[in-house]
Amino acid sequence: MVATPIGNLADLSPRARDVLARVSRIAAEDTRHSGGLLAHLGVQTPLVSLHEHNERDRIPSLLSALEAGDDLALISDAGTPLVSDPGYRLVRAATEAGLPVRAVPGASAPLAALAVAGLPSDRFCFEGFLPHAGGARRRRLETLLAQPVTTILFESSHRVRAAADDLAALEPERLVFLGRELTKQFEEHYRGAAGELPTWLDADANRLRGEFVLILAPAPQAADPESEDAPLADEYERLLGALLGELPLKRAVRVLADAAGLPRNRVYARALRLKDEG
């Protein structure tokens, strides 16, 4: 599994180039797109297409080649393979056949955006692309805006403005980050309230072009995970209340903290608060 650049070709690692040059063949999402990358690298390894429409049909022949001793590299159009791209069926089939699978790490658009967003990164969730249809997109955003973790999304140039309008209408004060054309010549960032994102996009027609990573700050109840006074996520609050009704305080705290992976001191502080509130 070989990561390729998301924009700047200099981001390809020397190891990745060596692997692409020595394998028997390279499975690529779009052979025309990847052919340009290989030409730039001076790599002449044969390409075979592997995309969402043919992956199942390709697996038997690729497994046969691997079992015969060939090495195969899998790449996507950009970034780390399998991140919102095809390939997991091939990896699963190879693993089930007892064939070794290795990662050659490198560029990843979600992680590149998270690294510069200035939003909590101790817990985050990658949600891929939003639905195309307006109603489905708004419903998905409503769900994602309630999550107690930082949420990373992809969006296309055709729908980024509509997604910005939805966010501005749903939660104008929510802190968001939008990364445009990451690692490329015209890279731009927006970090601020969701309500101002449409205005920022409209200020320059070029801002509606390119590829985008959109990041949503966690829901307010989890915005400060270090605060012992901050409420837990709703499901943990309900579970803690139920445990306190059946168990001594310290045991209830231990059960929830161990099961949910939460800091015991924070659960203990919330338990005391719930006890005080009756």
The DSSP line for 96-140 is HTT-----B----HHHHHHHHH-S--SSEEEEEEPPSSHHHHHHH
How many other C-beta atoms are found inside a 10 Å radius of the C-beta of residue 206?
A: 11
Render pLDDT for 227-274 as a digit per residue (tens, 0 to 9). Answer: 555 678 888 888 999 999 999 999 999 999 888 888 888 888 888 888
Q: Is the pLDDT of residue 45 over 90?
A: yes
How far apart CA 5 and CA 174 sit, in angstroms, is 31
Q: Are 178 and 213 in contact (CB under 8 A)?
A: yes
Percent of the chain with pLDDT over 90: 81
Verdict on whether the full-model pTM lies above 0.85:
no
Q: Are 156 and 129 in contact (CB under 8 A)?
A: yes
How far apart CA 153 and CA 25 sit, in angstroms, is 32
Q: Is the pLDDT of residue 67 over 50?
A: yes
Paired tokens of 158: 């055709």
Residue 245 Cα distances to 5, 15, 60, 103, 185, angstroms: 54, 57, 56, 48, 59
* Bridge partners (DSSP) listed for residue 189: 179
Amino acid type, 232: L
